[in-house]
Amino acid sequence: MTRFVDGPVHVSVPATSANLGPGFDSLGLALDLRDELSAEVVASGLEVVVEGMGAADVPRDETHLVVRSMRAALGLMGAEPPGLRLTCRNVVPHARGLGSSSAAIVAGVSLARALVAGGSLLLDDDALFRLAAEIEGHPDNVAPAFYGGFVISGHDDEGFYAVTSPVDPRVGAVVLVPPTPLSTEVARGLLPAAVPHADAAADAGRTALLVAALASQPEQLLRATRDYLHQDYRRPAMPDSVALVDALRADGVPAVVSGAGPTVLAFAEAGRPAAVRAVLDRAPRGWEASYVAVDRDGVRVS
């Protein structure tokens, strides 16, 4: 018979930025902007409390993404709690290209495992990551949300995989978040079924360079973040975002569309406050801009 832990368990999950320019559907970076969640087994029913981002929009029933993710993990462990209480304090913006859905999924599966006594023996980290990727459908945001740092991920005949790669301590980022959302489905719908071979070859070279640039040569980030596969095709859905990327890059700032957008991410060095301030000041009216460090931990459970 399954035994559940006494009292609530808590998790903290970082925002993430996928693609980073050329690394379409394969590269992701965790950012130190965190949703905080707690869950507790109760006598009966389901109670969902949501504060912060998405509080006015997300459901409070079994369709809530965190709850669905918890149920999936609990099912794999053969655990069926009599009731659940879930509290979400959301900081990651929704539908802005900063991995809010991946944060919810990683939080849900991690909460579920933590609620079950001996849960890590039933679902190890690799199994939990694979489950989260299956729920999301792709691993590029899930992987850094789970493992932290910079992660190269994908899917092959053996299933989902994730490989962490170093990040130079000088690397940080400014995120410039527009006020209006954009769904991933709309952004993906603008992509062509095929691209020119020359563009694919150029993108592969920049992706390889980006791994090296993030690891130890951030001076190469402008060249390394040049994208050939997706950003220009998505311009009609987020013209202001892509125009801002173009303007920043023209001034030598390594800027990209974060994930499917419309947030813009610009790499910046925390030790150069004037340079960071110059990027923050480029936020258009109505946008929110902030400096965020690279998160090294991924999901934290207590």
**Scanning the structure block, which residue is given the tokens 């950012």?**
31
Q: Strands of the chain (E only): list them.
A: 9-19, 23-42, 45-52, 83-90, 150-156, 159-165, 172-177, 255-257, 264-268, 288-293, 300-301
The answer to the question of whether 95 is labelled as a binding residue is yes
The answer to the question of whether 97 is labelled as a binding residue is yes
Q: Which SS3 state, helix, strand or coil, does residue 47 take?
A: strand
Q: Token pair for residue 232?
A: 């220009």
The DSSP annotation for 87-115 comes to EEEE-SPTTSSS-HHHHHHHHHHHHHHHH
The answer to the question of whether 165 is labelled as a binding residue is no
The answer to the question of whether 102 is labelled as a binding residue is yes
The answer to the question of whether 100 is labelled as a binding residue is yes
The answer to the question of whether 248 is labelled as a binding residue is no
Residue 109 CB contacts under 8 Å (≥ 6 apart), including other chains = 69, 70, 72, 73, 123, 128, 131, 132, 135
The answer to the question of whether 46 is labelled as a binding residue is no
Whole-Å CA distances, 177 to 174, 262, 264, 283: 10, 7, 7, 8
The answer to the question of whether 103 is labelled as a binding residue is yes
Rounded CA separation 224/20 (Å): 9
The answer to the question of whether 26 is labelled as a binding residue is no
User: Could you tell me which residues are annotated as the binding site?
Assistant: 93-103
Annotated binding site for ATP: 93-103
